[in-house]
Amino acid sequence: MAYQFILTAVEDGILTITLNREKQLNALNAQLIQEIGEALETVRNDKTIKGIILTGSGSKAFAAGADIKEFSNFDIEEGEKLAIAGGKIFDKIEQFNKPVIAAVNGFALGGGCELTMACHIRIASENARFGQPEVNLGLIPGYAGTQRLVQLVGKGKALELLMTGDMIDAQEAHRLGLANNVVSLEELLPTARKMLGKIGKKGPLAIEKVIDSVNAHFDKKRNGFEAEIENFGALFNTKDFTEGTTAFMEKRKANFIGE
């Protein structure tokens, strides 16, 4: 499929989606966000794909935010419409049935930081900078930054970052739990691929249920404990469960098929 603002590539069962507006520091316009959603849908039911990496083109930015030029003249209705449409794609990422890793290769600001937080895991390069600078524009985050930042770093630090608009470096993001780990820029994509390679050897349905159960914790309409029990029980009815336990007993590696 041809996209205007992203690049996609599949290698070793991993789909890499690269935000491709390097001159604009990969600022997120509405179409770019929609294209991420479309690219994800192409692999949802593809059993050969074990995971997804989201990254930015170039070595300066993952994404420096939502495209300020796109929404600078918007009124209330247009602003809300943009936030709702984009928010649905961010939710899709968070709830995706395969692991999504943000490989954060530079600035991840505003909507860019929010996009990393919608991903399941964030790996940062040493030059990465995170921040929610919307207050500098007289705005607040519109892609759930006020919610997901609290989930990742806690209320006090989230309020500080959201109200000061301060940028933090990769090490500080790691210390706060925003970044899972920090590696050199050269090691960024290899590290993300290695992690997805490891996850890809596990039972895909179990991975899907891990994602769903953890998400249930943060969903006010669900009880996470009940969701886990339901997901746990459902896995007993799968070929992967039979294969996993049989392989253990036969002292060999399991060959999961995602059924």
Which residues contact ligand CO8 (rule: CB under 6 A)? Answer: 24-25, 27, 64-69, 71, 79, 82-83, 86, 107, 109-111, 133-134, 137, 139, 141-143
Least gap, CB of 213 to ligand CO8 (angstroms): 28
Contacts of residue 115, Cβ cutoff 8 Å, sequence gap at least 6: 28, 54, 62, 63, 90, 93, 102, 108, 143
- Closest by Cα among 18, 15, 22 to 3: 18
* Among 11, 22, 80, 134, the one annotated catalytic: 134
Residue least distant from ligand CO8 (Cβ): 110
Name the residue nearer to ligand CO8 (CB basis): 109 or 195.
Answer: 109
Name the residue nearer to ligand CO8 (CB basis): 67 or 212.
Answer: 67
Name the residue nearer to ligand CO8 (CB basis): 9 or 84.
Answer: 84
> Alpha-carbon distance 128 to 227, whole Å?
35
Using the structure block, give the residue that is written with the tokens 């070793």. Answer: 12
Least gap, CB of 212 to ligand CO8 (angstroms): 26
Least gap, CB of 23 to ligand CO8 (angstroms): 6
Count other Cβ atoms within 10 Å, centred on residue 84.
10
Name the residue nearer to ligand CO8 (CB basis): 6 or 254.
Answer: 6
> Alpha-carbon distance 259 to 162, whole Å?
43
Least gap, CB of 181 to ligand CO8 (angstroms): 23
Q: Is 134 a catalytic residue?
A: yes
Backbone φ and ψ of 14, nearest 5°? -120, 130
